[in-house]
């Protein structure tokens, strides 16, 4: 199946490519011009590096593969003066994380920037989608091309250009590359402890995801991603006795009441969604939350004694999550006759709430893009921005932004692709952004 760029991305790229910078536009700041010029020399080695890491399977549960991708990236960070170490993932049941740190030189206080990415993909060794493939001069297909080995390659091209221009020492830098972004380890607090600790020491967090794959947008807000489970119970009896005073409504009606009340009473709040992904009920029920599955057996003429539902909850602020959970608990507690139910909430990805700091960082990035001739960058609608690791850092830094990685499309599918034309765009933008942050 051929890869096809979405119309908005095609139009964006057409406008950017003929806007000037790729044809030699000059910048008034000599350091910025040196940075941009060096980024242009990085296209071939960057694509070669992308091919190398894409051809290493790093499905989340392929621990050896995740570590092998880390082993490829590690010397590139070391060559730029980063101190690197591997965080063992055994305590949270995953491969682990690569951390790279570099202190700027001089006694003055420098902005501390945290770059966030990941090494793993959704494609395990049994997937038929394994190899880097050139579709044409600009489009490459492969697992992790856009999501998000390409983002790490963009960061290395940008950092290399800063070092070449002699300005990398103006920043303190930490890079955290997770080995379990696509399937987080448990407990989640342990799996994200390294990132949270790094964020507490940083001023600014930048995510290297591909986000909505649009070169004209960046992410300043992401919704949370959490799960909930409901277990309803009722009295079992012959179906002819349902609704009687002794038997009541049964578990399935109780669960149906709860889900319908969620829909009628909670639906409509801006950026709040709650979706039941599995519903099951009968005389006998087997429910497994991981991987999510269920099995039921019974008869139509028996009032079901048990029913289970599992779903997700997405919100834009911690306050919205807390308020919604309380409303859900209250709905669950209003039982039908002779029934009971309880709801539990699992830990999940927190939201990246919109803040003035994030808006300010987007403004700086937008100006960088305009000055480079790539046009304006606006904030993507949070409904189009799924949960990501930057959310764990956002509450601990002054400013955060995401979506600065390589662009493409069809992430998490066997047609995932990256557009190599965006490598120059994204690397130049990131490099000049970092340079300007270091000047402030």
Q: Does residue 20 have a pLDDT over 60? A: no
End-to-end CA distance of the chain: 48
- pLDDT band for position 107 (50/70/90)? confident
Q: Rounded to an integer, what distance in angstroms lies between the CA atom of residue 338 and that of residue 240?
A: 16
**Same fold across 7-222+352-439 and 225-349:** no
**pLDDT attached to residue 17:** 46
Average pLDDT, the chain: 93
- pLDDT band for position 26 (50/70/90)? low
Helix-helix angle 43-54:63-79, to 10 degrees: 160
Contact 373, 20 (CB under 8 A): yes
Contact 252, 341 (CB under 8 A): no
Q: How many helices (H) and strands (E) does the chain have?
A: 12, 18
**pLDDT attached to residue 12:** 53
**β-strand 225-234 against 339-349: which pairing, if any?**
antiparallel
Of the candidate ranges 17-21, 32-36, 81-85, the one whose mean pLDDT is the lowest: 17-21
Q: Does residue 366 have a pLDDT over 60? A: yes
- pLDDT band for position 9 (50/70/90)? low
Q: Rounded to an integer, what distance in angstroms lies between the CA atom of residue 278 and that of residue 259?
A: 12
> 227-246, pLDDT tens digit by residue?
999 999 999 999 999 999 99
Q: Which residue has the higher pLDDT, 291 or 173?
A: 173
**pLDDT attached to residue 120:** 98
In the numeric block, the tokens 């709801």 are attached to 343
Q: How many CB atoms lie within 10 A of CB 93?
A: 16
Contact 164, 79 (CB under 8 A): no
Q: Does residue 6 have a pLDDT over 80? A: no
Of the candidate ranges 11-15, 155-159, 215-219, 309-313, the one whose mean pLDDT is the lowest: 11-15
Q: Rounded to an integer, what distance in angstroms lies between the CA atom of residue 412 and that of residue 386?
A: 13
**pLDDT attached to residue 23:** 42
Burial tier of 237 (Cβ tally within 10 Å: 0-12, 13-18, 19+): middle
Q: Does residue 77 have a pLDDT over 80? A: yes
Half-sphere CA count of 426, side-chain side, radius 13 A: 35
Edge to edge, what strands does the sheet with 172-178 contain?
83-88, 96-102, 172-178, 112-118, 204-207, 399-401
Contact 427, 39 (CB under 8 A): yes
Q: Which CATH class is domain 225-349?
A: alpha beta
Contact 294, 286 (CB under 8 A): yes
Contact 232, 332 (CB under 8 A): no
> 127-148, pLDDT tens digit by residue?
999 999 999 999 999 999 999 9
Sign of the Cα pseudo-torsion (315, 398, 162, 16, in order)? positive
Q: Which CATH class is domain 7-222+352-439?
A: alpha beta
Q: Which residue has the higher pLDDT, 347 or 72?
A: 72
Q: How many CB atoms lie within 10 A of CB 290?
A: 9
**pLDDT attached to residue 289:** 86
pTM recorded for the entire structure: 0.88
| Strand, coil or helix: 325 | helix
Could you state, in order of their start, the residue ranges of all structural domains in the chain? 7-222+352-439, 225-349
Contacts of residue 353, defined as CB under 8 A and 6 or more positions apart, other chains included, come to 221, 316, 317, 318, 394, 395
**pLDDT attached to residue 50:** 98
- pLDDT band for position 82 (50/70/90)? very high
> 50-72, pLDDT tens digit by residue?
999 999 999 999 999 999 999 99
> 390-428, pLDDT tens digit by residue?
999 999 999 999 999 999 999 999 999 999 999 999 999
**β-strand 378-379 against 217-218: which pairing, if any?**
parallel
Contacts of residue 268, defined as CB under 8 A and 6 or more positions apart, other chains included, come to none
Average pLDDT over residues 288-307: 93
> 41-51, pLDDT tens digit by residue?
999 999 999 99
Q: Does residue 8 have a pLDDT over 70? A: no
DSSP state of 104: P
Q: Rounded to an integer, what distance in angstroms lies between the CA atom of residue 182 and that of residue 197?
A: 21
Edge to edge, what strands does the sheet with 133-134 contain?
133-134, 139-141, 417-419, 408-409
């Amino acid at each position: 199946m051929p890869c096809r760029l979405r119309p908005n991305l095609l139009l964006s790229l057409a406008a950017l490519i003929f806007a000037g910078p790729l044809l030699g536009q000059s910048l008034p700041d000599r350091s910025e011009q040196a940075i941009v010029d060096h980024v242009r020399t990085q296209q071939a080695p960057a694509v070669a590096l992308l091919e190398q890491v894409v051809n290493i399977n790093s499905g989340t549960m392929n621990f050896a593969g995740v570590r092998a991708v880390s082993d490829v990236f590690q010397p590139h960070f070391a060559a730029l003066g980063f101190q690197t170490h591997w965080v063992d993932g055994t305590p949270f049941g995953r491969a682990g994380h690569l951390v790279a740190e570099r202190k700027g030189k001089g006694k003055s206080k420098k902005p501390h920037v945290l770059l966030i990415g990941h090494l793993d993909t959704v494609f395990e060794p049994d997937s038929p989608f394994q190899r880097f493939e050139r579709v044409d001069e600009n489009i490459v297909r492969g697992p992790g091309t856009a999501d998000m080995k390409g983002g790490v390659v963009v960061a290395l091209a940008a950092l290399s250009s800063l070092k070449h221009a002699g300005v990398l020492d103006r920043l303190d830098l930490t890079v955290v590359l997770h080995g379990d972004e696509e399937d987080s380890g448990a407990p989640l607090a342990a799996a994200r402890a390294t990132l949270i600790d790094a964020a507490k020491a940083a001023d600014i967090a930048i995510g290297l995801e591909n986000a909505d794959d649009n070169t004209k947008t960046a992410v300043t807000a992401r919704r949370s991603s959490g799960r909930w489970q409901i277990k309803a119970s009722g009295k079992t009896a012959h179906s002819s006795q349902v609704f009687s005073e002794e038997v009541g409504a049964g578990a399935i009606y109780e669960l149906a009441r709860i889900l319908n009340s969620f829909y009628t009473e909670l639906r409509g709040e801006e950026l709040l969604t709650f979706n039941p992904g599995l519903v099951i009920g009968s005389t006998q029920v087997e429910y497994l939350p991981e991987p999510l599955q269920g099995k039921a057996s019974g008869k139509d003429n028996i009032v079901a004694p048990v029913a289970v539902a599992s779903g997700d909850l997405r919100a834009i602020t911690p306050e919205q999550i807390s308020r919604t959970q309380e409303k859900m608990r209250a709905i669950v507690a209003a039982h039908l006759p002779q029934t009971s139910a309880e709801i539990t909430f699992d830990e999940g990805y927190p939201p990246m709430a919109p803040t003035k700091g994030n808006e300010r960082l987007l403004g700086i990035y937008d100006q960088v893009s305009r000055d480079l001739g790539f046009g304006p960058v606006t904030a993507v609608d949070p409904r189009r921005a799924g949960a990501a690791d930057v959310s764990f850092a956002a509450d601990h830094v002054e400013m955060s932004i995401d979506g600065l990685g390589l662009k493409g499309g069809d992430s998490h599918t066997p047609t995932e692709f990256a557009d190599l034309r965006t490598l120059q765009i994204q690397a130049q933008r990131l490099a000049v952004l970092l340079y300007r942050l270091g000047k402030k």
